[in-house]
Structure 1
Amino acid sequence: MPLQRDASPRMASMLLTTYRALGAAANPLLRVFHRRRVKSGKEDVSRREERFGRASVARPQGRLAWIHAASVGEANAVLPLVRATIERGFKVVMTTGTLTSAQVVAQIELEGLIHQFVPYDTLPNINRFLDHWQPELAITVESEIWPVMITELERRKVPLIVINGRMSEGSFRNWQRVGGLARSVFGALKMVVAQSDADAERFKRLGVASAVNAGNIKFDGKAPSFDPEAVQELQQRIGQRPVWVAASTHPGEETQVLETHRLLTRAFPTLLTIIVPRHPKRGQLIAEEIAGFGLSVAQRSKGEEITPDTDVYLADTLGELGLFYKLASIVFVGGSLVPIGGHNLLEPAQLHCAIISGGNTTNFAAVYRQFNREGGALKASNPVELAAAVERLLNSPEETEQLAVKAAELVAAGAGALNQTLEALEPFLRQETSRQRTKGEV
């Protein structure tokens, strides 16, 4: 289906101008929005001005690339590319949009890497950011498409490349409705290195001149780390109790997990459910909800230990998913029973887990379809179905092992996207940009 023709270049220009004007006018409202996010624990108030394009550190000398990854999964997946970019003589300013992802990047000891929060996509904010950092190259991960950012980079002749590009059918149809604007935005991209042939084709139909399929770089990610001594200590406390993990859960999802726990205790009275929330700062609210179900909770952030009376262990700490994936062989991957789009199932697969998800998995749609189709994961759409899936696996260690083995095989088979992505990027990482050459000629 071709782009709609009723959005002429003039109309596209008007839409983009309107978007820019509304964004600039909305800056005061964005400050109110930011204050509310601070109160809910989703922003770092001490770094507020980064959201408005004001850098908190000086720009280093030499070539600099801007790499943007929205959240934790994208940040972890892109780290090998960050290292490769630095090895080729660049400094890297890496932006993320969430507090958790910022904390993850802060733990990385890599010379030449600077972290900043991504600025809101308004003309004043983006211009302040670009005036300060003056990148020679810009790379964004997956589906982060911001019109002002893209068009300002084009105006400054800074090549912008989307890697691990993902374009859902729904997003594609939405962009088609503003065909001329889509061509203005996507035509400004230098290249898209997509996750699949279908994604590459959608980007091309929206106006990207060069779009290639390299696969999903998340298949090449390192398995989550864990402390073997911590695993052993927790295993000793759990003993022979049946256990399962609900990982990366969101508001409204913990309720369904607790309902699942209640259903499962009919068959498994000594069951231990481990909840690892996506945002650990919600820990106290979740603990109160667990208590409201009449269940006993031990909260890891408070140093509370698992006892024989503990119904739910609340792992409200940062960076310990690997520990709990290693601890339990049955994992429900959250963000999928609520309209979030699901989270990364490749990480539990790497640590030999049998995986269950809800039905809302648009963020990893192709990967989940493959795993469901080829026997690498199970699907459950509500607490009754989730309880049935967990009960089935608890009663059948053989099936649990088969699921885990198949998931690990699928991860291994999907590896190689990172090397293909680096090959596609090599001309941009190796050669001087036209902007650099212009500087040298002045």
Structure 2
Amino acid sequence: MAERWWSRGGAAYAVYRATSRAASPLVYLFVQWRRLRGLEHPTRWRERLGEPSFPRPAPGTPLLWFHAVSLGEGLSAIPVIKRCVEQRPEIAVLLTVTTVSAFEVIKERLPCGVIFQFAPVDTYDAVNRFLGFWSPDAVFLIESELWPNLIFSSATKGSTMEAIRFQLLSAPPVIINFCGDLKYAVGDFNMSEKELTTLEDLRVDISGRRVWMASSLHCGEEKVFMQIHKALAKIHPALLTIIVPRHVEHGRKIKRELNQQGISAVLRSSVEKISPGTAVYIVDTLGELRTLYRLTPIAVIGGSFLPEMKGHNLSEATAAGCAVLTGPFVGHFSNMIRQMSAVDRLSVWQVNGREELLEALKQLLGDDLALEARRAAAKKAFSAVSGDVVSRVWELISTHILAEQPRLERRN
């Protein structure tokens, strides 16, 4: 495989490698600049330069490296990692991410013993420093994290390369195995004690109120949902709208705009709790969507109401049994919507814009039977299309990677 890559893209890669190598001193300064701005971990930033923070597993222990760029991809890898640890506890697992926000959320959810650190930036020196120390036996790339130095250096050092959910470069179809979409793996999560406590506390706070949630909102979309809230509040005076911005720093801006319009809003990051007078609850924290989807009966998925947007994953909301709505701009998530709608046309309600969304929410908030039908359809569709994707991924890992363990152990 390595020879084929070199024959097809060797010249372009040679230029990329030389450029990235020459830029290494600038990359060091760039990482320092990001650290000072809070964009890199304050104490573990050296990992971005390929330096380890933990010892490598004992000689002879096969090491599987899972790499994900950020929170969503990292969370989708966790069920597979858990299955690896359960089935083959003697194998070491390394997970890397690139963002601090992903690191802070995921570190609390990994099985005991999994090595977790930041991935190196894609310079020749950083990647080779990382690979030289860890020497992984197999590399699993989640989503589209296809960096040239990472891929070529891993291949030339003998690591087995696999791509989950992605056709890796120009790999021939005969060696590509599609085992399902890991975005559906959300159904394999169990809630922690902390999440269960949070859920019960919030249920007490909102008891007896009509509730709906707008999740993963991008800048600009808040204006749509503010108008929707004001219209719905005229019909349901005790209505509680939950807003979950895609970027937590956006929460304070939303609160200011709501307060300027005389709408009472509370930030989850503050110590203030939801009161009977709270109209909008803004969740400006990370990693809580899973819990919130189990709190609200209605979930409107953001990132889909402005033309430049491409939607977000609906599977967590459908798995939780929410009545799920989304806007017209959904990008490649249109395939997920088609799959679910084929199972049950009530599973996902795709609206054309603000007016249609308002009418849909009026119906769901005013008709309990219609709401329950949508919720049941969403859960049914998720169950049908998700299958057991984690088991299928594990089967491929076991068959194509771990079956070669004697060879891997000799290499170690």
Q: Secondary structure at the match of 2:269?
A: helix
Paired residue type of 2:337 = Y
Paired residue type of 1:119 = P
The CA deviation at 1:148 is 1.8
The corresponding residue for 1:268 is 236
Contact 1:341 / 1:360 at 8 angstroms: preserved in 2?
Answer: yes
Q: Percent identity?
A: 31
The gaps in structure 2 that reach 5 residues or longer are: none
Confirm or deny that 1:431 pairs with 2:404.
yes
Go from structure 1 to structure 2 and tell me whether the alpha carbon gap of 1:253 and 1:99 turns closer, same or farther (over 3 Å shift). farther
Distance in 1 (CA, whole Å) between partners of 2:150 and 2:98 is: 14
The CA deviation at 1:409 is 1.1
The corresponding residue for 2:62 is 63
Confirm or deny that 1:398 pairs with 2:399.
no
**CA deviation map 1:241-285 (0-9, x unaligned):** 322111233333334322332343343343221112334354434
RMSD of Structure 2 on Structure 1 (CA): 2.9
The corresponding residue for 2:169 is 186
Moved more, 113-122 or 331-340: 331-340
Q: Secondary structure at the match of 1:304?
A: coil
Go from structure 1 to structure 2 and tell me whether the alpha carbon gap of 1:362 and 1:224 turns closer, same or farther (over 3 Å shift). farther
Distance in 2 (CA, whole Å) between partners of 1:113 and 1:145 is: 23
The corresponding residue for 1:219 is 184
Alignment: residue pair count: 396
Go from structure 1 to structure 2 and tell me whether the alpha carbon gap of 1:286 and 1:363 turns closer, same or farther (over 3 Å shift). farther
Residues 30-429 of structure 1 correspond to what in structure 2 (within 5 A)? 30-31=27-28, 34=31, 38=35, 42-61=39-58, 62-86=61-85, 87-88=87-88, 89-108=90-109, 110-163=111-164, 165-166=165-166, 186-187=169-170, 207=172, 209-221=174-186, 222-223=188-189, 225=191, 227=195, 230-337=198-305, 339=308, 341-362=310-331, 364-373=333-342, 374-375=344-345, 376-413=347-384, 414-427=386-399, 428-429=401-402
The CA deviation at 1:121 is 1.8
Q: Secondary structure at the match of 1:186?
A: coil
The CA deviation at 1:57 is 2.1
Distance in 2 (CA, whole Å) between partners of 1:250 and 1:217 is: 24
Paired residue type of 1:44 = H
**CA deviation map 1:172-206 (0-9, x unaligned):** xxxxxxxxxxxxx725xxxxxxxxxxxxxxxx5xx
Distance in 1 (CA, whole Å) between partners of 2:46 and 2:83 is: 29
Paired residue type of 1:419 = S
Moved more, 301-310 or 30-39: 30-39
The corresponding residue for 1:176 is none
Contact 2:71 / 2:102 at 8 angstroms: preserved in 1?
Answer: yes
The CA deviation at 1:357 is 1.7
Moved more, 228-237 or 152-161: 228-237
Q: Secondary structure at the match of 1:355?
A: strand
Contact 2:341 / 2:381 at 8 angstroms: preserved in 1?
Answer: no
Distance in 2 (CA, whole Å) between partners of 1:162 and 1:261 is: 43
Using the size of structure 1 for normalisation, the TM-score is 0.80
Paired residue type of 1:225 = M
The CA deviation at 1:156 is 0.9
Moved more, 27-36 or 341-350: 27-36
Q: Secondary structure at the match of 1:389?
A: helix
Go from structure 1 to structure 2 and tell me whether the alpha carbon gap of 1:213 and 1:31 turns closer, same or farther (over 3 Å shift). same
Contact 2:76 / 2:183 at 8 angstroms: preserved in 1?
Answer: yes
Go from structure 1 to structure 2 and tell me whether the alpha carbon gap of 1:385 and 1:220 turns closer, same or farther (over 3 Å shift). same
Distance in 2 (CA, whole Å) between partners of 1:392 and 1:151 is: 54
Contact 1:105 / 1:115 at 8 angstroms: preserved in 2?
Answer: no
**CA deviation map 1:155-180 (0-9, x unaligned):** 112111112x146xxxxxxxxxxxxx
Moved more, 356-365 or 44-53: 356-365
